[in-house]
Structure 1
Amino acid sequence: MAILVDSATKVICQGFTGRQASYHMERAIAYGTQVVGGVVPGKGGSRHLGLPVFDRVADAVAATGATASAVFVPPASAAEAIIEAIDAELPLIVCVTERIPVLDMVRVKRRLEGSASRLIGPNSQGILNPGRCKIGVMPAHLERPGRVGIVSRSASLTSEVVEQVSAQRLGQSTSVGIGGDPVHGLGFVDCLELFFRDPDTDCVVLLGEIGGSEEEEAAAFLRSQRVPKPVVAYVAGLAAPTERRMGHAGTVNVFGQGGAAEKIESLRGAGVTVAESVAEIGQTVRQALKAA
């Protein structure tokens, strides 16, 4: 079992015939992901990578029974693509697009309220259930099936920690990249709730960074209840200068708010085991599992 995706997940791709979409969807198919088609307005009725192409998401869902969409649409059009997928009632939408305007994402967030859809991203590395389903741009040679759930704001950190957890011979249940933009879909709290309910996840790794309030919200959530599984965290950016954006749009420490030290203190106060350095995350996970 896993969260959000498994071997039965049927995936379509919005922006299917684009260069990046073609590259990553071809690899998803090779991985074993059940990709069933794509959506490109004006190209309906054609085929790409041996699969049907549709003009609209609703048409693709009706024809294929798709349950998830990978959004590889340029920033100016990405919000409309996500909204189209929401209107088609797709249960899961994974958006890898970077630099979607913030006001566009505000509209998306409003449309998500009360809908049947969950959004991962934008600016997301995607989601990976080892050996069963890969949606997005996560590398697929570092993982191994296991019982450690990973949720991360950082793509590079995700890859590093997947490799460390695999090297510890623990493996992952699911890895989720929630994305690095300030306005996005699923957050740390949403993923913690899902992992806590998943009987095949024994420990959760939370990978944070400066900016925003995701880590503080996760800490408040953990303090509000009896935590059923060990949570290990790492927060990047202790040396980041104030008011300087580091990497992507969500990583900015403004006037002393959203700093790494404050986030670490908040998480430790909620009973989270915080790794001292990137190199120690895998070992810290093993120790947390042993102590549980």
Structure 2
Amino acid sequence: MAILVDKETKVLCQGMTGWAGTHHTARMMEYGTEVVAGVTPGKGGRTHLELPVYDTVAQAKAETGANASMIFVPPANAAKAMIEAIEAELPLVVVVTERVPALDMVRVRQALDGSKTRLVGPNSQGILAPEICKIGVMATGSERPGGVGIVSRSASLTSEVVAQISGEGLGQSTTVGVGGDPIHGMSMVQCVELFLADPETEGIVLIGEIGGTEEQEVAEYLQARKASKPVVALIAGQYAPPERRMGHSGTLTMYGRGDAGSKIAALERASVEIAPSSHLVGRTIRDALLRAR
């Protein structure tokens, strides 16, 4: 069983008529995701990719029964799009846009408080439940259905780890990219909670990286409760220079905080097994699952 999405997920795309929205919406439809509409203010009443386009999320939801949104809106207007989806009470919103201004995300987080929406992202590669649903920009071809849940901050490493897990004869229940921007919606801890509660997820892989404290928060959560499933982690950036942003805006260590070493130490104290190298994640979770059986 997947988390966050299922065969009943109906997706609308905010920003579908732009190049990126068009390209990735088409790829999602090819994968089998049920995309039902697009939303672009001022273009309501048109069709695009043979789908209706609406001016507002509320209109699109009322007409199509959409229960999820994918956002391809430039950073300056992305927060407005997120808040519109939250106010329309969409249960799931996935935001691909990266480098959304931090103060804008503070307003989004305020809108989320007490809402009915789960926000994934921004700067998320999306959600992929093999043979069930894809929302976002994750590469496909290597995935297969199975029992490993993946929660990741890194898009490129996610594709590598999915291929390794499939290559070990395993598969994935769901892969979730929580987002690489410093302020985002669903946390790694919240994803781990969902995977631990999912009866068909047998083990969990965390793909972390330098910057922030999300991995330490996962460690604190797991220390407070005995995990019923094996958890394996890969932390990228062990050799990154301090106080220099590496890639996206979340990968930044400052004054000894957010470094790979402290994250690894915290996770090890919580009995999380650390993959010794990025090319050994698949083997590490395979061995952990064998020991747990």
Which TM-score band (shorter chain)?
over 0.9
Per the alignment, residue 237 of structure 1 pairs with 237
Residue 272 (structure 1) aligned with residue 284 (structure 2): no
Per the alignment, residue 8 of structure 1 pairs with 8
Instruction: Provide TM-score, normalisation by structure 2.
Output: 0.99
Residue 285 (structure 1) aligned with residue 288 (structure 2): no
Residue 25 (structure 1) aligned with residue 25 (structure 2): yes
Q: 1:247 & 1:291 partners in 2: Cα distance?
A: 36
Within-5 A mapping of 1:131-142? 131-142=131-142
Within-5 A mapping of 1:14-163? 14-163=14-163
Query: Which residue type is aligned with residue 165 of structure 1?
Result: I
Q: Report the CA distance between 1:8 and its aligned residue.
A: 1.0
Query: Which residue type is aligned with residue 125 of structure 2?
Result: Q
SS at match of 2:146: strand
Render the CA deviation track for 1:109-147: whole Å, top value 9, x for unaligned: 111011000000000000000011000000111101111
Q: 1:9 & 1:150 partners in 2: Cα distance?
A: 20
SS at match of 1:143: coil
Within-5 A mapping of 1:128-207? 128-207=128-207
The unaligned stretches of length 5 or more in structure 2 are none
SS at match of 2:186: coil
Q: Report the CA distance between 1:278 and its aligned residue.
A: 0.3
Q: Matched residue pairs, number?
A: 292
SS at match of 1:38: strand
SS at match of 1:244: coil
Q: Report the CA distance between 1:226 and its aligned residue.
A: 1.6
Q: 1:140 & 1:60 partners in 2: Cα distance?
A: 28
For the aligned residue pairs, the C-alpha RMSD in angstroms reads 0.5
Q: Report the CA distance between 1:169 and its aligned residue.
A: 1.2
Query: Which residue type is aligned with residue 10 of structure 1?
Result: K
Query: Which residue type is aligned with residue 179 of structure 1?
Result: G
SS at match of 1:158: helix
Render the CA deviation track for 1:214-268: whole Å, top value 9, x for unaligned: 0000000000012111100000011011100111111011011110011000000
Q: 2:111 & 2:217 partners in 1: Cα distance?
A: 22
Per the alignment, residue 220 of structure 2 pairs with 220
Query: Which residue type is aligned with residue 203 of structure 2?
Result: C
SS at match of 2:123: coil
Query: Which residue type is aligned with residue 161 of structure 1?
Result: V
Q: Report the CA distance between 1:99 and its aligned residue.
A: 1.2
Q: 1:233 & 1:258 partners in 2: Cα distance?
A: 16
Runs of 4+ in 1 over 2 A off after TM superposition: none
Q: Report the CA distance between 1:2 and its aligned residue.
A: 0.7
Render the CA deviation track for 1:20-77: whole Å, top value 9, x for unaligned: 0100000100100000011000111110001100000000000011010000000000
% identical aligned pairs: 61
Q: 1:276 & 1:107 partners in 2: Cα distance?
A: 39
Q: 1:120 & 1:228 partners in 2: Cα distance?
A: 25
SS at match of 1:234: strand
Render the CA deviation track for 1:125-179: whole Å, top value 9, x for unaligned: 0000001100000011110111100000000111010010010110100000001
Q: 2:263 & 2:205 partners in 1: Cα distance?
A: 15
SS at match of 1:207: strand
SS at match of 1:258: coil
Query: Which residue type is aligned with residue 153 of structure 1?
Result: R
